[in-house]
Structure formats: structure tokens, C-alpha cells
Amino acid sequence: MAHRLPSSRRSRLVIAPIVGAALLVAALAAGSSAASRTTPSHVSSAKAQVIVGLITKTDTNPFFVKMKQGAQKSAQQLGAKLLTAAGKFDGDNASQVTAIENMVTAGAKGILITPSDTKAIVPAIKKARAAGVVVIALDTATDPASAVDALFATNNYNAGLLIGKYAKAKFGSKTAKIATLDLSPARVTVDVARHNGFLAGFGNAKATASAKGFVKDSRIVCSQDAAGDQAKGQTAMENCIQKSPDINLLYTINEPTALGAFTALKAAGKEKQVTIVSVDGGCTGVRGVKAGKIAATSQQYPLKMASLGVAAVVKFAKTGAKPHGYTDTGVTLITGKPVRDVPSKNVAFGLANCWG
């Protein structure tokens, strides 16, 4: 019984891979000659229809769904062909690298990407640019920012600043006990920019846009990382309430976190004592503002990032002019209870322009 492989089967085991290897080599050889043949048609087809690639962090986040819609609409209007791809989870660098390679092979003139890992994606972007492809970062800057041709994104520091100012105007001279629900220990740029922006708006002079890492603030009584996730936001807030029952101001990295935290506050009977401010402007989030769960949120515009990106690639394909530098796609403060001196729009505006 221990002898599982009779000799006749073994000989076939030998043959199969050899045949496979021979075919592979033949394919590679045939392929390389085909490659040289197809070069001219590649050039002419590129003239016919510009190919634009869009690579998002995931397929499922409504933010990226909206981004894809914006890119599709813009590509349709401009007569371009859109290729899309996404990672399997937030932080999935390998899938994004693979997508860049495949899109370059597919003949994309430009690639729009929301990098999952701002550092790890850089070598792959470098290769694509060396192959003559324009790369534009959407929503999230690469590290270093110069790795891409251009960045179309929200100014996250400003997004934080707006809700910080709003909270300051609401609190006046009242003593604040702040809880912050941040993103993750990696402290990526968006995490730091929104957090510090919020503190700056709330009167912390040290929290400048160029500050590295989170600035210290004695008014913060509890800080937790919730990965931008509703369930984790709830757990984190439950723990914060245990630690400091007198919290009265809550900043969250995004609205799912805020809504999770609200659930925890409500369960503890503290939802009336805490002012929640957040960033994003997703439809669920804006409905949270409408319902009075979230006091104010800074709304950003993924659709605009994508449509500007597609237009820039098409322009490059037609004129050779590359996009460069940073383009702020803007933020708007959405609140049901406006305060003096901080410009804001109402919930109706927020719902008309929300994503998700």
C-alpha cells in the first residue's frame, strides 16, 4: 500500500510537465515575436480611444464606488475606455501592483490610483511612469508625494480645521473633554492631517499643517484607533466611556466610526451630552447629521477627483501636457445647526452631493 505510484503512472508524470514546459517556452518565443508585431497597431489604437485605468483601495467602500461612477461618466463623455481594479482589502498592496502592471500592458495612457500603502506602491508607480504612463493619485498622496505626476484630493487638514472651528464656536468658553477615534497606529497622512486639523480649529496653536504625527493636547481624555469601521468605533467608544464618563466632544476619522460611537453613547445614555464631529460626507453620514446623531461633518468629493483625473489623462493623450502638482477638490461643512463665522451648508445640500 505504501507504493502509490506504479511505474506506468510515473512515466506519465514525467511526460506531462515536459510537454507543459515545452509549450510554455514555445508560447514565450511566439509571444515575443508577436509583441514586436503588435507595436504599430498599439500606437494606432491608442489614437482611436484613450485607455484610462482606475485603481481603488477596495471595491466595496461607497467612497470608491462613487469614485468609479465619476470616472465612468467622465470617460463616457470624453470617449475614453476605462479599466478598473481594486484591492481585496484596505492595505492590499500586492493587488494594486498587479493591477498597475496589467493596465500598463493593456495600453493605458494614464492610471488613477488611491494607494492602499502609500510607500509600498511607489516602485510599481515608478515602473509605470518609466513606461510613459501618467500616474495620478486620487484622495491619498503617495510617500513621497513626488512619486506621482499629480494629486487630486481633499485637503484633509482643512477638513479637520472646519469641524474644529465649528466645535470651538459651539463650545465657546465651556471646558471640553475630548475623545478622538482615529484610524490606525500606522498614522498615515490622512489620519494625522484630520486629527491635527481638528485640534487646530479647536484652538491648538501647535497643530500646524506641517506638524509630524499627532500633536499633544491636554483636553483629549481618550484616544483610540477604530480603523474607520462602525463596529470597532462602537467598541472603542464603549471603552472611552468607561475610562472618562465626562467626555463631551468627540472627533472621529469618518462617519461610520461616528455612528458606531453614537450607538455606544446611546447605550450609556450619554448621547445628549456629547457633540460628535466627523469627516467624509457619505450619504449615511449626512443622514446621521440629519437625525442629529452627528453635529457636523466635512464633506469631500470623490466623484470630482475621478472625473478631473480622467479629463487630465485624456488631455495628456491628446496634447502631451502632463498634469502636475496638487489640486484641492474641496470640502464643505455640512450641519443642521449652523454657527456664526463658520461657513456651512445644510443637510439638503449634503444629501444632494453625498456619495454612497
Partner 1 sequence: MVETTPLGVDGEVPEAEAGPSFVTRLFGIPALGPFVALILVGAFFALKSDRFLTGGNLSLVLQQTIEVGTLAIGQTLVILTAGIDLSNGAVMSFGSIVMTKLAVDSGMSPIPAIALGLLACVAFGVLNGALVTGIRLPAFIVTLGTLNIAFALTHIYSGEATISGLPGEMTFLGDTFKIGGTAVTYGTVVMLALYVVAWFVLTQAPVGRHVYALGNNPEAVRLAGVHIRRLLVGVYATAGLIYGIAALLLVARTQVGDPASGQTDNLDSITAVVLGGTSLFGGRGSVIGTLIGALIVSCIRNGLTLLGVDSIYQVLITGILVIVAVAVDQLTRRGTR
Contact set with partner 1 (CB under 8 A): 1-6, 8-10, 12-17, 20, 27-36, 38, 41-42, 59, 81-86, 88-89, 91-95, 97-99, 101-103, 105-107, 116-120, 122-124, 184-186
Between 86 and 250, CB nearer to partner 1: 86
Between 183 and 258, CB nearer to partner 1: 183
Q: In the complex, what is the shortest distance from the CB of residue 14 to partner 1, in angstroms, rounded to a whole number?
A: 8
Peptide bond into 343 cis (omega under 30): no
Euclidean distance between CA atoms 94 and 137, whole angstroms:
17
Task: Decide: 157 and 193 in contact? Cβ < 8 Å.
Answer: yes
Candidates 264, 296, 262, 265; CA nearest to 280 is 296
**70 vs 54, 114, 194, 301, CA distance in Å?**
11, 14, 24, 10
Between 123 and 330, CB nearer to partner 1: 123
Q: In the complex, what is the shortest distance from the CB of residue 178 to partner 1, in angstroms, rounded to a whole number?
A: 24
Between 42 and 318, CB nearer to partner 1: 42
Q: In the complex, what is the shortest distance from the CB of residue 146 to partner 1, in angstroms, rounded to a whole number?
A: 14
Euclidean distance between CA atoms 124 and 110, whole angstroms:
14
Euclidean distance between CA atoms 130 and 98, whole angstroms:
16
Between 78 and 122, CB nearer to partner 1: 122
Q: In the complex, what is the shortest distance from the CB of residue 338 to partner 1, in angstroms, rounded to a whole number?
A: 39
Task: Decide: 162 and 331 in contact? Cβ < 8 Å.
Answer: yes
Q: In the complex, what is the shortest distance from the CB of residue 38 to partner 1, in angstroms, rounded to a whole number?
A: 6
Between 117 and 229, CB nearer to partner 1: 117
State how beta strands 332-335 and 296-299 pair: antiparallel
Helix H or strand E encompassing 239: helix 230-243
The distance from CA 100 to its chain's CA centroid, rounded to whole angstroms, is: 17
Euclidean distance between CA atoms 328 and 193, whole angstroms:
14
Task: Decide: 79 and 141 in contact? Cβ < 8 Å.
Answer: no
Q: What region, left, alpha or beta, does residue 53 occupy, with left being phi > 0 and alpha being psi -120 to 50 degrees?
A: beta
Between 53 and 288, CB nearer to partner 1: 53
Q: In the complex, what is the shortest distance from the CB of residue 130 to partner 1, in angstroms, rounded to a whole number?
A: 13
Q: In the complex, what is the shortest distance from the CB of residue 279 to partner 1, in angstroms, rounded to a whole number?
A: 21
Helix H or strand E encompassing 20: helix 7-48
Between 30 and 321, CB nearer to partner 1: 30
Between 33 and 218, CB nearer to partner 1: 33
Q: In the complex, what is the shortest distance from the CB of residue 95 to partner 1, in angstroms, rounded to a whole number?
A: 8
180 three-state secondary structure: strand
Find cell 488631455 and name the residue: 315
Q: How many CA atoms lie within 13 A of 333 on its CB side?
A: 25
CA-based max dimension of the chain: 89
Residues counted in the chain: 356
Q: In the complex, what is the shortest distance from the CB of residue 260 to partner 1, in angstroms, rounded to a whole number?
A: 22
